[in-house]
Amino acid sequence: MTSLLPQYPFSPNPVLLFGLLLLLGLAGGELVRRVLRLPRIVGYVLIGMALGASGAKLLDARLLEDSWVFVEIALGLVLFELGRRLDLAWLARERWLLATGLAESALSFGFVYYALTWFGVSPLHAAVAAAIGVSTSPAVVMLVAQELNAEGQVTERAFALTAMNGVAALVLVTMLLAWIHHEYRAGWTVVVLHPVYLLGGSLLLGYCAFWLALALSRWLGKSAQGQFALVLALILAAMGLARMLELQVLIALLAFGVFARNLDERHDLMAVDVSRIGQVFFVVLFVVSGARLELAELAAGGALAAAYILARFAGKSLGVMAFTYFSGARAGAAGLLCLALTPMSGLALAMVQGTASLYPEFGAKLAAIVLSAVLILEIAGPLAVQFALRRAGEAAQ
């Protein structure tokens, strides 16, 4: 009979891990909010750091690997929601907004690239690191906006720009894979076909998910509950398929969101808010992000991280300051948008992880450059967004 009883040492399982991470994250978030009056996200990240590589080392590589699936689900939900914030009709009408998005993406890429090469980073590493820096963390913007119940032009435009730079970053990083393959002497077929497969395949997967969502929502009718479950099911299925087919999960989900927003001409899909259920996954996302970051790396790469952050901020700010006023926003909105675009977090980690899974050695070098900056922005980013949205008068009273 003894074999039916648990054996020591107990082996943890992912479900237990999820529960514990959620519990600890919630406690950390609440403490930080009550004691320091900072956004909860900061608490999630700090708990993660305390548990992870920089702290008690309770979350080791194996547990982090186990928890990565939750991170992916969280990012999938975030990117779908982000895709639905990309209103192409708005961009077509308000070209200055489109110009703002293109300019801040291009300039932040250029500035970071030059700053890094000036510091002696090889062009390829600099290019990939810069491409990752183009994106603003959608999860941070979304969570802070939700926590503040923020609503208004600065919030809306922060989402629109985050969506645009997310698309830009994912496309850039995928295209740069060609260069990485070339560097590592992969054959020409791989150099050309792999990025094409990733982009094309992920887009197609996103489109299929959208098409199914549309067909099934017509059948379901306008039931918020039904459509919520439908969208959630399709998000999870698309994520699983993307993994199975070695596609880019993030691109597929972002595309699903963009199609859902822009191609649903008869308005069959309801605007169900999947990010609300995402809350619990977001907590785990930030705890795990925190756990992956190493304070030790910051000491080594501090100067580089500072250069990275400053160049990125300068590039984004220049693009935003140049065009925002012409795009109909009030005076003063541009400065606040610059702040709102600073966060980097899970999406950046996932992009580093994506390249590392192909070429571990390249990934390690890339991580050394990017992760110190992410570490700083994990803490500073939420504060910047919170300040921007409050100052804009868009937080709930």
Partner 1 sequence: MEFRSSSGHTMGVELELQIMNARDYNLARDAADLIGLLERSGHPGAIKPEITESMVELNSSIHATHATLLAELENLRDAVARAAERLNLRIAGGGSHPFHEWSERRIYPTERFKHLLELYGYLAKQFTIFGQHVHLGCPDGDSAVYLTHALARYVPHFIALSASSPFQQGADTAYCSSRLNTVSAFPLSGCMPFVHSWGEFLGYFEKMRGYGIVESMKDFYWDVRPKPEYGTVEIRVFDTPLTVGRAAALAAYAQALARRLLAERPHPPSREVYMLYGYNRFQACRYGLEAVIVDAYRGCPVSLREDILETLEVLAPHAAELGSGAVLEGIAAGVSAGESDAAWLRRVHRERGSLNDVARLQSERWMGRLDAGPEAAAERSRAG
What does the chain come to in residues? 397
Of 145 and 309, CB closest to partner 1: 145
Widest distance between CA atoms in the chain: 76
Q: What is the sign of the dihedral through the CA atoms of 227, 233, 239 and 245?
A: negative
User: What would the x/- binding string for partner 1 be over residues 4 to 43, using CB under 8 A?
Assistant: ----------------------------------------
Whose Cβ is closer to partner 1: residue 29's or residue 257's?
A: 257
Q: How far apart are CA 244 and CA 312, in angstroms?
A: 34
Q: Using the structure block, give the residue that is written with the tokens 């503040």.
A: 148
Least distance (Å) between residue 339 CB and partner 1: 18
Chain residues 241-280 in contact with partner 1, contact rule CB under 8 A: 265-267, 270-271
Q: Which two tokens stand for residue 87?
A: 């209103």
Among 29, 86, 94, 351, binds partner 1 (CB under 8 A): 94
Which residues contact residue 124 at a Cβ distance below 8 angstroms, ignoring those fewer than 6 apart?
176, 179, 180, 183
Q: Which of 11, 397 has the CB closer to partner 1? A: 397
Nearer to partner 1, 175 or 321 (CB): 321
Q: Are 209 and 252 in contact (CB under 8 A)?
A: yes
- Backbone angle region of 5, left / alpha / beta, with phi > 0 → left and psi within -120 to 50 → alpha: beta
CA angle 268, 217, 84 (to 5 degrees): 60
Q: Identify which of residues 54 and 327 has a Cβ nearer to partner 1 in the complex.
A: 327
225 lines the binding site for partner 1 (CB under 8 A): no
- HSE, side-chain direction, 13 A CA sphere, residue 302: 5
Q: Which is nearer to partner 1, 62 or 266 (CB)?
A: 266
Query: Cα–Cα distance between 284 and 150 in angstroms, integer?
Result: 23
Within 305-334, the residues that bind partner 1 by CB under 8 A are 327-330
Q: Rank residues 57 and 222 by Cβ distance to partner 1 and give the closer one.
A: 222
14, 110, 152, 240: which one contacts partner 1 (CB under 8 A)? 152
At its nearest, how many Å lie between partner 1 and the CB of residue 171? Answer: 24
Which of the residues 73 through 92 are near partner 1 (CB under 8 A)? 84-85, 87, 90
- Would you state the structure tokens that stand for residue 363, as one six-digit string? 């990934």
Closer to partner 1 by Cβ: residue 185 or 267: 267
9: preceding bond cis by omega (within 30 degrees)? yes
Contact present, 42 and 379 (Cβ < 8 Å): yes
Which one of 117, 146, 153, 279 is in contact with partner 1 (CB under 8 A)? 153
- Residues 331-390 close enough to bind partner 1 by CB under 8 A: none
Output the smallest distance, CB 151 to partner 1, in A. 5
218's tokens:
């017509």
Which range of residues in 147-155, 247-255, 285-293, 314-322 is near partner 1 by CB under 8 A? 147-155
Nearer to partner 1 by Cβ, of 230 and 376: the residue is: 230
Could you tell me where the DSSP H helices lie in the chain?
14-31, 40-51, 61-83, 88-93, 95-118, 123-133, 138-148, 153-183, 188-220, 224-244, 249-262, 274-292, 295-323, 333-340, 346-358, 360-391
> With respect to partner 1, which residue has the nearer C-beta, 36 or 88?
88
Rounded least distance, CB 90 to partner 1, Å: 4
Total residues contacting partner 1 (rule CB under 8 A)? 26
Does 222 participate in binding partner 1 (rule CB under 8 A)?
yes
Q: How far is the CB of 310 from partner 1 (least distance, A)?
A: 31
With vertex at residue 163, the alpha carbon angle to CA 161 and CA 168, rounded to the nearest 5 degrees, is 95
Q: By CB under 8 A, which span of 25-33, 149-157, 242-250, 374-382 interacts with partner 1?
A: 149-157
Between residue 154 and residue 213, which ones bind partner 1 under the rule CB under 8 A? Answer: 156, 160
Least distance CB 227 / partner 1 (angstroms): 10
Alpha carbon distance 383, 381 (integer Å): 5
Give, in degrees to the nearest 5, the angle at Cα 242 between 241 and 247: 145
> What is the contact surface with partner 1 in residues (CB under 8 A)?
84-85, 87, 90, 93-94, 151-153, 156, 160, 221-222, 265-267, 270-271, 327-330, 393-394, 396-397
